[in-house]
Homo-oligomer: A and B are copies of this chain.
Amino acid sequence: MGTLRVPDMLPSPYQDAERLHKAFEGWGTDEKGVIWILGHRNAEQRMKIRDTYEQLYNKSLITRLKSELSGDFLKAVILWTYDPSERDAKLANKALKSKKQGIRQLQVIVEIACAFSPHHLVAMRQAYCSMFDCSIEEDIVSCVSQPARKILVALVSSYRYDRQLVDTDVANNEAKILHEAIEEKQLDHDKVVRILSTRNVSQLKETFQCYNHNYGNTIEQDIKSCGNSILESILTVVIQCIESPHKHFAKVIRESIEGLGTDESSLTRAIVSRADIDMKKIKEEYQNLYKESMEDAVSGDTSGNYQDFLMTLLGSKL
């Protein structure tokens, strides 16, 4: 369950668009008003507000937000205002076009391919084509070098069966294939790529359990022992996103605020993209893993309107 709070008495998209327009008018912007409205609407409702705003004022809401807000607050509100498929197409494109291509960038693509529904993944591919005039596969091929390229292309091309169905024989057999590949340090073997990119999530969870049961270590431990290249890091994120997206995003949030300075783009991405999916479970995982409340941690590392907006999405501000 998400942490997004939508009011019982929902204003019409027309009323919301009007109020947003008022928040933009006059001296300075009423940021609290923007948070109050957009921070309490789900994806479908935000989409209707965007459409209505454009009809009423002949200007895109996104463009208007860009001229009214600033900094991390602006970035977070913009991501939240995009349709989720457009948001993820944008995040994936930014990751691919970034100068550095470490795991911090590439994990964004793994998340979209492994921690969301197959339907969302396809919608993102469609949005990517519309927004960037080429397929995401083409951009992966032109921006990412081997061996990461191979697994990323396969992952974004997947359309996993989305119900729970497990074949234990297949799980044991494929645990063996994965184990052999890891032992031979052939992490980009066709069979590994095929298993991770075509099997359904419940089947893969069973395979990882068989792996642990049959070979002593978890598959994550064994992959880590292969070294510390980008491929190992990618596969680790694949496994985390499949085994437990909640745990994965709890970790992303933790890493974004740990130490000196904050990685706002990761923090924003995790909260914005999961607030209306499973943020409740992510908060529980966070508490479990770090013995601290996520709200306390996030509010300790952020400030101002940016903080208010994230807290609203986390459900701790009314």
A contact set with B: CB distance below 8 Å: 118-119, 122, 125-126, 129, 133-135, 137-138, 141, 150, 153-154, 157-163, 165, 190, 194, 197-200
Contact = CB atoms under 8 A, between A and B. Distances in A.
A159 B159 CA distance: 11
A246 B108 CA distance: 40
- Most chain-B CB neighbours within 10 Å: which of A150, A157, A162, A165? A157
A96 to B, nearest CB: 14
Contact of A199 (B118, B138, B157): B138
A162 B198 contact: no
A157 B153 CA distance: 10
A159 B135 contact: yes
A171 to B, nearest CB: 13
Nearest to A191: B141
Contacts of A138: 161, 198-199
A157 B157 contact: yes
Given A134-B200, A150-B190, 17 more contacts: A118-B129, A119-B126, A122-B122, A125-B159, A126-B159, A129-B161, A134-B165, A135-B158, A135-B160, A135-B198, A135-B200, A137-B158, A137-B198, A138-B161, A141-B198, A157-B158, A157-B159
A54 to B, nearest CB: 23
Contacts of A157: 154, 157-159
Contacts of A160: 135
A194 B139 CA distance: 12
A150 B198 CA distance: 13
A157 B154 CA distance: 8
A126 B138 CA distance: 23
Nearest to A195: B141
